[in-house]
A and B are shown apart, each in its own frame.
Chain A
């Protein structure tokens, strides 16, 4: 058993190879005092680690009242290009994730588990495949586990897009007018949970809610897996106690101690100014800056970088990754990217662009089928606020040195040609 209040939890016993089933069972021995999974999950207050921060127990509650042939979908798609947490988790301890998925399946009464990993990560796919084989030899009862490998796209990890892929081989988000909406594969109600959430469920099912709550804060218990990138000595995935000051996390990762800003939550997230990095890393404290932990991305932007230029690169890529289903997203996001480019270039066009940018943000927000455009709008708004002084310099025709240099800090994949994008 892992002692309470210790880290690592999810990465306990991790080596550079995935844990075998025997090693995993040795490492994570159940204490045996957990009697009711549902009660423990209720008491643990686990919130989903995929980005939206939705309480897992509410999802389980919703699904357990449904009838039919149910599914549990483990989302290991890792849409964020800056995040590596699901890949790291699935390639260090895939069995913990699968355990959690099996527990969720027992709770809602699901008969099949689908674990989804992007096919662009063949190593992770291999590890998961091997883990599933190992289990198939051990236990023949229980829900069957299938591995699915959709193509990697930013929106393919969105839950309705993932379910659409499983249902119909298309990674496109679906329209959901009323919330909460129950996603279905065929006619079967489907529970979609992030891989890290499943791993946490696996821990709660073994050691109970009280043990789980020994780390983290009251409203946001447990540990969090964060991917630190940007101006760091080495991009890394760390497991941290929720509520640790952000500056401590950055110091552990070997980041620039005096950053200009820190991007939290991924490319649909928002910036935290460099002088606020003593904030505890949990949703309660971050919500004061209208931020959230999101998908666990922490991207550090150093002083010498140009925030507006980085924002433009990110928004241009996010616009390219739109599924082009909804007009406001298909046309609005490229328009936002063009406006940001005009701001980077400065001059009179830039002054017009910055006013237009705010209007367009208000127009686009909340008008897509999924939350992709909302995320981009949040990112653009926060970029305008946080880099306001820099934007003024750009508009006055004196762009910062970062904009003139070719050095870039955020990882943005190369843009593919539109016809080459694979959606199925």
Chain B
């Protein structure tokens, strides 16, 4: 079930006005963030698939670890990356109350 939730893409966004170049994000998410010569983050605008759990986790770490709270993990509504989920037929899961 966890795999279904990870369909889709995300982008790590930085608010350049808030960012003061502490550089924590480059420590916490080295696969997503590089620092320029002045210590400010360079982040790719390319969406990363949610299925890349390591990248997503470190993006979340960077988001929470930013001392200026300048980072934001944005979910992108791109055509969902098809993982091996759709192959097996699944029972519809009802959330909340069951219909009477």
Residues of A within 8 A of B (CB): 172-175, 177, 325-329, 331-332, 363, 366-369
Contacts and interface: CB of A to CB of B under 8 A. Distances in A.
B38 A326 contact: no
B17 A328 contact: no
Given A173-B17, A327-B40, 18 more contacts: A172-B17, A174-B17, A175-B15, A177-B13, A177-B15, A177-B72, A177-B74, A325-B16, A326-B16, A326-B17, A327-B38, A328-B38, A328-B40, A329-B16, A331-B40, A332-B36, A363-B42, A367-B40
Interface string B14-58: 011111110000000000000011111010010000000000000
User: Secondary structure of the B side of the interface?
Assistant: loop
Nearest to A332: B38
B36 A368 contact: no
B17 to A, nearest CB: 5
Interface of B: 13, 15-21, 36-40, 42, 45, 72, 74
A363 B36 CA distance: 7
20 contacts: A173-B17, A174-B17, A175-B15, A175-B17, A175-B18, A177-B15, A325-B17, A326-B16, A327-B16, A327-B19, A327-B36, A327-B39, A327-B40, A328-B36, A328-B40, A329-B16, A332-B36, A363-B37, A363-B42, A369-B16
Contacts of B20: 327
A368 B38 contact: no
User: Secondary structure of the A side of the interface?
Assistant: loop
With a 10 A CB-CB cut-off, give which of A172, A325, A329 has the most chain B CB atoms: A325
Given A177-B74, A332-B38, A367-B42, A327 B21 contact: yes
Contacts of A328: 16, 36, 38, 40
A371 to B, nearest CB: 12
B10 to A, nearest CB: 13
With a 10 A CB-CB cut-off, give which of A172, A174, A332, A367 has the most chain B CB atoms: A367
Nearest to A327: B40
A329 B38 CA distance: 11
Contact of B16 (A172, A175, A363): A175
Nearest to B18: A175
B29 to A, nearest CB: 17
A328 B36 CA distance: 8
Nearest to A356: B37
List the 6 closest pairs (A to B, CB-CB), nearest first.
Answer: A326-B16, A327-B40, A331-B38, A325-B17, A175-B15, A175-B17
A177 B45 CA distance: 12
With a 10 A CB-CB cut-off, give which of B17, B18, B42, B74 has the most chain A CB atoms: B17
Contacts of A363: 36-37, 42
A368 to B, nearest CB: 6
Contacts of A368: 16
A191 to B, nearest CB: 23
A35 to B, nearest CB: 39
Contacts of B38: 327-328, 331-332
Contacts of B15: 175, 177, 369
B9 to A, nearest CB: 15
A51 B21 CA distance: 31
A170 B40 CA distance: 24
Contacts of A177: 13, 15, 72, 74
A332 B21 CA distance: 13
A326 B42 contact: no
Nearest to A174: B17
Nearest to A323: B17
Contact of A369 (B17, B39, B45): B17
A392 to B, nearest CB: 26
Contacts of A173: 17
Nearest to B45: A366
